[in-house]
């Protein structure tokens, strides 16, 4: 199996919306409402060049978004099923290599909700360190956010 990150194509736009709207993805996101197709299309038009598709065996299975030296991701929870945890690990490894290799970043960081213990543990495993915590409104509700980052 050769996981890969590739630039998103216009044909990927509608494929990734159900992944983003999956209840378990929304529950740990900084935007928890169900994203409607028009909202997603507007976001895609603004962000398309920053979006990468994570593939397993040539099948799209996740999304990685780079915004300068910050990143975020989500996976096709339903499609991956029991392969979700290994996919998380492969995606993180690929994204870190892409950030420091292809993008040439010196540091990479991102926001994770404090109660998303699994992703925080994953980030620690890949050398990310917590640098700060702060409150942020998530759909009108104050939540603690953890900023983690690592250097090349």
The reported pTM is 0.90
Helix axes 37-47, 13-21, angle to 10 degrees: 120
Q: Give 116-138 pLDDT, tens digit per residue.
A: 999 999 999 999 999 999 999 99
Per-residue model confidence (pLDDT) at position 31: 87
pLDDT at residue 3, rounded to an integer = 59
Q: pLDDT digit of tens for each residue in the chain (152 aa)?
A: 565 899 999 999 999 999 999 999 998 998 899 999 999 999 898 876 789 999 988 899 999 999 999 999 999 999 998 888 899 999 999 999 999 999 999 999 999 999 999 999 999 999 999 999 999 999 899 999 999 999 99
- DSSP state letters, 28-49: TSS--SPPPHHHHHHHHHHHGG
CA distance linking residue 30 with residue 111, whole number of Å: 9
Paired with 35 in beta bridges are none
Question: Among 97, 110, 119, 103, which Cα is nearest to 149's?
Answer: 110
pLDDT for res 63: 95
- Angle at the Cα of 67 (from 65 to 72), degrees rounded to 5? 40
* Rounded Cα distance, 47 and 55, in Å: 19
Give Cα 95 distance to the centre of its chain: 9
- By CB atoms closer than 10 A (0-12, 13-18, 19+), residue 71 is buried
Note the pLDDT of residue 1. 55
pLDDT for 48 equals 63
């Amino acid at each position: 199996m050769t996981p890969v990150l590739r630039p998103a194509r216009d044909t990927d736009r509608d494929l990734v919306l159900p992944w983003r709207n999956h209840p378990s993805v929304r529950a740990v996101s900084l935007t928890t409402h169900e994203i409607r197709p028009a909202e997603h299309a507007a976001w895609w038009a603004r962000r398309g060049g920053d979006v990468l598709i994570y593939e397993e065996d040539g099948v799209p299975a996740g999304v990685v978004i780079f915004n300068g030296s910050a990143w975020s991701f989500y996976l096709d929870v339903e499609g991956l099923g029991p392969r979700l945890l290994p996919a998380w690990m492969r995606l993180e490894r690929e994204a870190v290599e892409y950030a420091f290799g292809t993008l040439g970043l010196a540091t990479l960081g991102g926001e994770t909700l404090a109660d998303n213990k699994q992703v925080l543990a994953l980030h620690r495993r890949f050398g990310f360190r917590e640098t700060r915590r702060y409150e942020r409104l998530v759909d009108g509700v104050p939540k603690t956010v953890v900023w983690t980052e690592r250097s090349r």
